[in-house]
Structure 1
Amino acid sequence: MKNFKKQFPLLEQYTYLDTAASGLLPEAVLEFRQDHDLDFFIGGSLFRENRGKLFLKVRKAVGDLFHCAPNLVALTPNFSYGFNLLMEGIDRSKKVLLLRKDYPSVNWAVESRGFKVCYAEIDENLEQNIAEAVEKHKPDIFAFSLVQYINGIKIDPDFLLKLKEQYPELLLFADGTQYCGTEKFNFEASALDVLGASAYKWLNAGYGNAFFLFKEHLQEKIAPKGLELKDLQGKNKPHKGSFIGKFEPGHLDTLNFGSLKAAIDLIEQIGIDKIESRVRELSAPAKEKLAERGLLESAVVNRKLHSSIFNIKGDEKLFQKLRSNKIICSMRGEGIRVSFTYFNTEEDLEKLLKTLI
């Protein structure tokens, strides 16, 4: 993995523990973007004539990485845009289960539209809380983040499979922004009906690109209201007028979605298996050592399954101390959020622990 650190020059000067806020832009993506803009600068509309082929490659790359048919992959500028379009296509009489204090882009999109809403609490008994809420409230939809953005609590995918088996009509809509790119994921074999994610965090694809994956049967259950603009040449969207096309009105940006393709190419070069293994090698001792120092909330300490995101107890003074020691992290919730990805090292963890003393 150390060979790939050269993709991120900032790591030569800083200890970067802030992927949960923003992934770094890899050199490979930068090179694509430079070549793209030069080609656009020289070619103008001639360059844009091939945009349809690029978008097909992007959908295929996303589909291959997450095991979803390319024709069921929608490209959107960010998660919030796509999720709002999704919820606009849902009958307002439906009841939606949310996680209390989940990511605002998930909860606001539901709460602001007048759906019947019920909640489950995010704590060490997360899965039990969800099961009890489903049994009690009988929701039609469960919308949630796979990994919580404040403290990194991660929902058990095996639990979701059991939940879907018990309640096959319950639709599961997931935000994977804090998850996608951290480990292998097979969407087709999962319990999820919809998975959306912005790609600027763990996929290191820069801003302005996101994707949504759909199970085939969703086309019969929701009616997205996005107005797809007519493509006069018919080359840009072979799925023009389709379910997926409703999530892609107007022109797609070749720079941003080409960046997503370049970022996925880098992940494929490294190997998602190696990325997953490396993230676990760092997150396990990080949790153990931070817990030993009493810096983690009990809801995190008492769970077996966790992500590589941690919220440590600390105030603005400690945050500034970390920053002065060139450790980049974020103030979130009532503490300081740190996160580890594959380009981090054991030395990064040790530096964090020493600075916290």
Structure 2
Amino acid sequence: MKNFTKHFPVLSQYTYLNTAASGLLSEKVLDYRQNHDLDFLIGGSLLKDKQGKILTGVREAVGRFFHCAPHRVALTPNFSYGFNTLMEGVQKGKKVLLLKNDYPSVNWAVESREFEVCYAEINEDLESNISEVVEKERPDIFAFSLVQWLKGIKIDQEFLKELKEKYPEMLLFGDGTQYCGTEKFDFEASGLDVLGASCYKWMNAGYGNAFFLFKEHMEDKILPRSLGFNSLQGKYKPHEGSLIGKFEPGHQDTLNFGSLKVAIEEIENIGLQNIENRINDLAQEAKALLGNAGLLEDMVVQRNVHSSIFNIRGNEVTFQKLRSNGIICSQRGDGIRVSFHYFNSSEDLYKLLKVLK
């Protein structure tokens, strides 16, 4: 793939291995944001008159990108807001399966409410662990991240489809924040009933935008109570009580949601298959080299399915050494998390290994 330094100016200053914490702002998204606020500056409420058209375009872009009908796409300011709205609409007392040490915005939203909760372990046998707990506990809902934030362990999509086929009454709620934008994903053909994701990471859409996708039958499964003027406004919210309207009760930020549409168009222009191939190549190379260097846990090395996020062995001294050499990463858990996106290269990986050595 081409050099993306001009596309993402940060890359001219740093070796950026931190998409798992925050994606980058591109020149094209910046151009949109500047033009949007210039329109607001000189037009005032004339910009607001365009709000419906802007948000409809965003909803249709998200639906097209993830293969979901636009009337089942809700736009929320972040994943946590949307997921709390979702769980507030679930009947109290339901049994929910979680993964131990999953992302707090998933687990806390469940644990803080009146649900019966059971857990599966995250390790090299993740799918087997889930199957065993489901067979034993028969949960009503399984809520989880598609890619784990701490170590990058990625759940097998085919396993999710098989799980749904075996237990069709169990609802699957997925957090795609560390997943969406890394590979092709067909929501309608997936095993998920709901998918939500913040888009400031792998979608490179900036902050303040997220989405939730719903299968058609979810209209009858959850009853969120959120309601506001905007719940009834817009092309795809034709009736009172519309499910996506319950997730959009107030005025929405056309600056941030419009940024998401531009980010999706950028990905489509580059080619999602090209992005997927690049990330997979980097992930396999990184896993092999980091594993051979003894920097990865056994549970990661032994997995066949993994993302491009890795938690390597290292302490505060190691972290500061990386930062002083211009390598941007994060301290997470008991190690240092690095992540590779399509704008990264093998040279970035080699520099990481050289500094660690």
TM-score under structure 2 length normalisation: 0.98
Q: Separation in 2 of the partners of 1:274 and 1:5?
A: 18
1:147 counterpart residue number: 147
Q: Separation in 2 of the partners of 1:334 and 1:320?
A: 15
1:14 counterpart residue number: 14
**Does the aligned pair in 1 maintain the 2:124–2:302 contact within 8 Å?**
yes
Opposite residue 347 of structure 1, the aligned amino acid is: E
1:181-208 superposed Cα distances (whole Å, 9 cap, x missing partner): 0000000000000000000000000000
2:57 counterpart residue number: 57
Q: Separation in 2 of the partners of 1:156 and 1:239?
A: 36
Gaps (5+ residues) in structure 2? none
Task: Give runs of aligned pairs for residues 130-279 of structure 1, distance below 5 A.
Answer: 130-229=130-229, 234=233, 238-239=237-238, 241=240, 242-279=242-279
**Does the aligned pair in 1 maintain the 2:231–2:247 contact within 8 Å?**
no
**Does the aligned pair in 1 maintain the 2:71–2:236 contact within 8 Å?**
no
Task: Give runs of aligned pairs for residues 305-344 of structure 1, distance below 5 A.
Answer: 305-344=305-344
**Does the aligned pair in 2 maintain the 1:239–1:245 contact within 8 Å?**
no
State the 1:305 CA deviation. Answer: 0.5
Task: Give runs of aligned pairs for residues 66-81 of structure 1, distance below 5 A.
Answer: 66-81=66-81
State the 1:329 CA deviation. Answer: 0.1
Task: Give runs of aligned pairs for residues 87-126 of structure 1, distance below 5 A.
Answer: 87-126=87-126
Q: Separation in 1 of the partners of 2:115 and 2:106?
A: 13
Q: Separation in 2 of the partners of 1:261 and 1:8?
A: 17
SS at match of 1:5: coil
Q: Compute the RMSD of aligned alpha carbons.
A: 1.2
Opposite residue 41 of structure 2, the aligned amino acid is: F
SS at match of 1:223: coil
Q: Separation in 2 of the partners of 1:239 and 1:63?
A: 17
**Does the aligned pair in 2 maintain the 1:52–1:237 contact within 8 Å?**
no
Opposite residue 144 of structure 1, the aligned amino acid is: F
Q: Separation in 2 of the partners of 1:231 and 1:130?
A: 36
TM-score under structure 1 length normalisation: 0.98
Q: Separation in 2 of the partners of 1:231 and 1:302?
A: 47
**Residues 237/252 of structure 1: CA separation in 2 closer, same or farther (3 Å cut):** farther
**Residues 11/227 of structure 1: CA separation in 2 closer, same or farther (3 Å cut):** same
Q: Separation in 2 of the partners of 1:105 and 1:352?
A: 30
**Does the aligned pair in 2 maintain the 1:330–1:336 contact within 8 Å?**
yes
| Between 4-13 and 102-111, the greater mean CA deviation after superposition | 4-13
Q: Separation in 1 of the partners of 2:346 and 2:85?
A: 42
**Overall identity of the aligned pairs, in %:** 69
